[in-house]
Amino acid sequence: MNANLLASLVAIFAAGLVTIACRATPFLLFGSGRIPPFLDYLQRAMPPIVMTVLVFNSYKALFPQGPSWDFAVAPMAALSLVVPGAMAALLQFWKRNALLSIVGATALHMIMTRLG
């Protein structure tokens, strides 16, 4: 087994342990008690924060970055990210069918990147 593959396996098992630890923590800590108020406040804010940052992170290529503040993508490539993303959001607000929103937006993105 080469070193890269071994490192990947170790990383996957580490990620698995971290995931199980996250899922088990509330059962281990608060199986028989109340959670402290500041943690309750933070846990309610976490899903909005995480989702917003994940979406922002998907679109970071649109922002000028690096020491020269250059844009990472050409205008057409930027459009092929923004338009399908907007379509996914609108479809989801309107129909609330996650599969339709995801497959539709991904198909549009794949078409736009091939035409562009």
- Give contact residues for another protein (rule: CB under 8 A): 4-5, 7-20, 22-27, 30-31, 35, 38, 41-61, 63, 65-66, 72, 81, 84-85, 88-89, 92-93, 96, 98-99, 101-103, 105-106, 109-110, 113-114
Spatial distance between the Cα atoms of 114 and 105, rounded to a whole number of angstroms? 14
- Choose among 108, 71, 79: nearest CA to 91: 108
Q: Which is nearer to another protein, 24 or 74 (CB)?
A: 24
Q: How far is the CB of 68 from another protein (least distance, A)?
A: 12
Q: How far is the CB of 96 from another protein (least distance, A)?
A: 8
Q: How far is the CB of 90 from another protein (least distance, A)?
A: 9
Q: Which is nearer to another protein, 41 or 74 (CB)?
A: 41
Residue 49: HSE in the Cβ half-sphere, 13 Å Cα cutoff: 6
What are 115's two structure tokens? 């035409």
Q: Which is nearer to another protein, 4 or 75 (CB)?
A: 4
Q: How far is the CB of 12 from another protein (least distance, A)?
A: 5
Evaluated on CA atoms 33, 37, 42, 45, the torsion sign reads: positive
The phi and psi torsions of 97 (rounded to 5 degrees) equal -115, 100
Place of tokens 């057409």: 76
